[in-house]
């Protein structure tokens, strides 16, 4: 039986250039889907999976994230005075317990692998999760909770995977698959952003990971990969054959909120899941066909 996953790392140091000028003074992770920022969806997914410790790897200009997950005395008092107790309760549910959240700084934008490596002292010697807020997943049971359940049986490293069009393989880390039961697939190899004609499959890694701490040894070598960055995919690939490694086909719908169209689609999809908004949204959608 594998060790329980208690810590989650959130790499939030990126510049968000694809959403300029909106992200000039606001972290991309704070962009709202309906009425909640992307990063809060990721944190709530982690809590649903039983995560107890939240580690944010930040960069310059990310203070709004820290403020969002802190208590606001003035706002709390104002809402209380105005009798908006339901809204006050909702806000307070999104605030971590004291000591449950910590921050470290990625001083240089050297890639996802480097961001994860920056969290090594806070993670310690235990398996941990990594969640990328750009990948927003609509599911009855959170993607990470599904992964934690599978990891408890399979152990080792685990990634969330989904089929993508052949033409899109150059956008993702792609799995070279082994034994496959339709839900859990053994990972025989990983290739970062292969050209479509060279891709070993259409099975793409999306932004959910459960990793064993040995990954820090490989990341610590600071070897550059695709884009001249320190790639998490490369470090994971070096652990294949040493530790169990699986991809999980999760139940749910993933939205690429690092893309403008994907972000807009996510807003509509999540609004349609809301009882207070669904009818109004369905009413105006036909006029845009």
**pLDDT digit string, tens, across residues 107-166:** 888 889 999 999 999 999 999 999 999 999 999 999 999 999 999 999 999 999 999 999
Give the structural domain span for 90: 7-288
Distance in angstroms (rounded) separating the CA atoms of residues 27 and 94: 18
Spatial contact of 121 and 145, defined as CB atoms under 8 Å apart: no
Closest C-alpha among 277, 286, 242 to residue 36: 277
Q: Per the domain annotation, does 143 fall within a domain?
A: yes
What's the mean pLDDT when you consider all of the chain? 91
Q: Does residue 205 sit in helix, strand or coil?
A: strand
Mean pLDDT, residues 166-194 taken together: 91
Task: Report if residue 78 sits inside a domain.
Answer: yes
Q: Please, what's the largest Cα pairwise distance for the chain?
A: 63
- Which residue would you say has higher pLDDT here, 258 or 226? 258
Does residue 189 lie within any of the structural domains? yes
39-98 pLDDT, tens digit per residue, is: 999 999 999 999 999 999 998 888 899 999 988 888 888 988 898 888 888 888 888 888
Does residue 2 sit within a domain? no
1, part of any domain: no
Total domains in the fold of the chain: 1
Share of the chain residues as helix, strand and coil, in percent rounded to the nearest 5: 40, 25, 35
Instruction: Report whether pLDDT(37) > 60.
Output: yes
- Whether this prediction's pTM lies above 0.85 is answered by yes
pLDDT-derived band of residue 1, with 50, 70 and 90 as boundaries? Answer: low
Residue 41 in contact with residue 88, Cβ under 8 Å? no
pLDDT at 283: 93
Would residue 159 count as lying in a domain? yes
- The rounded distance, in Å, linking the Cα atoms of 105 and 75 is 28
Rg (CA), the chain: 19
Q: Which residue has the higher pLDDT, 184 or 75?
A: 184
Q: Which of 176, 187, 178 is nearest to 211 (CA)?
A: 187
Residues contacting residue 48 through CB under 8 Å, at least 6 positions apart: 141, 142, 144, 145
Residue 34 is assigned to a structural domain of this protein: yes
274 lies in some domain: yes
Q: What is the predicted pLDDT for the residue at 167?
A: 93
CATH number assigned to the domain comprising residue 21: 3.90.550.10
The 10s digit of each residue's pLDDT in 190-249 is 888 889 999 999 999 999 999 999 999 999 888 887 777 888 988 999 999 899 999 999
The rounded distance, in Å, linking the Cα atoms of 194 and 134 is 21
């Amino acid at each position: 039986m594998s060790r329980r996953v208690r810590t989650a790392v959130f790499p939030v140091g990126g510049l968000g250039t694809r959403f300029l000028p909106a992200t000039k003074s606001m972290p991309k992770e704070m962009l709202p889907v309906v009425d909640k920022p992307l990063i809060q969806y990721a944190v709530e997914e982690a809590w649903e999976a039983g995560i107890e410790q939240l580690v944010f790897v930040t960069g310059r200009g990310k203070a709004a994230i820290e403020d969002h997950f802190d208590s606001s005395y003035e706002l709390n008092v104002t809402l209380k005075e105005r009798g908006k107790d339901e809204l006050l309760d909702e806000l307070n549910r999104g605030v971590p317990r004291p000591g449950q959240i910590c921050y470290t700084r990625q001083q240089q934008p050297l890639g996802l692998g480097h961001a994860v490596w920056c969290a090594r002292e806070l993670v310690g010697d235990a398996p941990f999760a990594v969640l990328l807020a750009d990948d927003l997943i609509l599911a009855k049971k959170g993607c990470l909770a599904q992964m934690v359940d599978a990891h408890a049986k399979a152990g080792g490293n685990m990634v969330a995977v989904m089929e993508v069009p052949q033409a899109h393989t150059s956008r993702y880390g792609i799995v070279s698959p082994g034994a496959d039961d339709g839900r859990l697939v053994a990972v025989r190899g990983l290739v970062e952003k292969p050209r479509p004609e060279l891709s070993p499959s259409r099975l793409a890694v999306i932004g959910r990971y459960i990793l064993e701490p040995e990954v820090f040894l490989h990341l610590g070598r600071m070897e550059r990969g695709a884009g001249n960055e320190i790639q998490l995919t490369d470090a994971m690939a070096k652990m294949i054959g040493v530790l169990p490694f699986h991809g999980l086909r999760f139940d749910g719908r993933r939205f690429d909120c690092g893309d403008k169209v994907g972000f807009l689609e996510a807003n509509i999809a999540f609004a349609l899941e809301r009882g207070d908004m669904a009818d109004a949204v369905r009413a105006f959608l036909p006029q845009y066909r």
